[in-house]
Amino acid sequence: MEAVLAHLRGAIERGEYPVGQKLPSESALGKEFEVSRSVVREALRGLQALGLTVSKTGKGTFVTATGPVENPTFGTYSARDLFEVRRHVEIPVAGYAAVRRSTDDLDLLGHLVERMDLETDNTAWVALDSLFHITIAQASGNPVFGKVIEEIRDALARQSSFLNQLGDRRTRSNTEHREIVTAIASGSEADAVAAMTSHLEHVENALTTIVRPSLTTHQNKDD
């Protein structure tokens, strides 16, 4: 999927598929790249998340932009929407969870990180990831926080899947999740806030690396 997406993205950004042009059908792309239609479908979803294409039911996939997209969309919400909300909700929520969590909350969080470490299927891992963040919100003792995370759950899942497929985030996320659980278990509000802040910063940096690789490379050279 990554190879198909990289090829199509490169062709679009080079202008081989101009704005308004329809991409070849899933079956045609599958034959061209010698992959299944499901692989092609995932690649096309990646292009759409990057803001390079739009899918029209019954008509196909059309190019909408040829340049780098800084604010990809995941379902109903954009990456910027998600990051702004997560910074203002999930970071303080982690702090509340550290001082209000119950033994049952800690047991569930521990169980979730164990399952995520062992999970090999991306779809199942993403579902566990969503449940992990919802559980932290519920552990805050404020049901409103849980409702907020539930509202963006689908978008978070789409973004998480996107990052895992293109940014190889799963292993690092597992480590960061364990650090968050350890901080919450310690009862330290400051440590929990720091752990969640670090996690969200890594997620945002990974997304930036995917959508703006030329900028990331330039920054690395300057460093």
44 and 92 belong to one structural domain: no
Does any domain span residue 14?
yes
> In this structure, is residue 209 part of a structural domain?
yes
Q: What does pLDDT average to over the chain?
A: 90
Task: Tell me the per-residue pLDDT of 46-85, one tens digit each, with 9 for 90 and over.
Answer: 888 888 899 898 899 999 988 767 788 888 899 999 999 9
Residue 68 forms part of a structural domain: no
Residue 146, domain extent? 73-217
Q: Is the pLDDT of residue 217 over 70?
A: no
In terms of domains, do 104 and 143 share one? yes
Same domain, 97 and 194: yes
**Cα-based torsion angle of the residue sequence 155, 123, 165, 19 in order, rounded to the nearest 10 degrees:** -50
Is residue 59 located within the same domain as residue 114? no
Residues 144 and 210 both lie in one domain: yes
Is the Cβ–Cβ distance between 210 and 163 less than 8 Å? yes
User: How many beta carbons lie within 10 A of that of residue 57, not counting itself?
Assistant: 5
Claim to verify: residue 38 and residue 121 sit in the same structural domain: no
Domain co-membership, 96 together with 186: yes
pLDDT at 68: 65
Q: Which of 63, 81, 98 corresponds to the end of one domain? A: 63
In a shared domain, residues 38 and 134: no
Using one digit for the tens of pLDDT, what is the confidence trace for 17-47?
A: 999 999 999 999 999 999 999 889 888 988 8
Cβ-proximal residues to 195 (8 Å cutoff; 6+ apart), any chain:
94, 176, 179, 180, 182, 183, 184
Q: 59 and 96: one domain?
A: no
Domain match, 195 and 168 both? yes
User: Quick one: DSSP state of residue 162?
Assistant: H
CATH number of residue 193's parent domain? 1.20.120.530
The domain spanning residue 54 has which CATH number? Answer: 1.10.10.10
Q: Where are the beta strands (DSSP E) in the chain?
A: 53-56, 60-63, 73-74, 77-78
Number of structural domains in the chain: 2
In a domain, 153, yes or no: yes
pLDDT tens digit sequence for 86-103: 999 999 999 999 999 999
pLDDT at 220: 43
Q: Which of these three, 63, 97, 113, is where a domain ends? A: 63
Q: What pLDDT score does 75 carry?
A: 83
Same domain, residue pair 114 and 90: yes
pLDDT in tens, 135-183: 999 999 999 999 999 999 999 998 998 888 777 789 999 999 999 999 9
Q: Are residues 52 and 157 in the same domain?
A: no
pLDDT digits (tens, 9 = 90+) for 113-126: 999 999 988 889 99
Q: Show which of 63, 94, 115 is a domain's final residue.
A: 63
Q: Is 58 left (phi over 0), alpha (psi -120 to 50) or beta?
A: left
pLDDT at 66: 84
Beta strands in 97-170 (DSSP E): none
pLDDT at 73: 85
Amino acid at 134: I
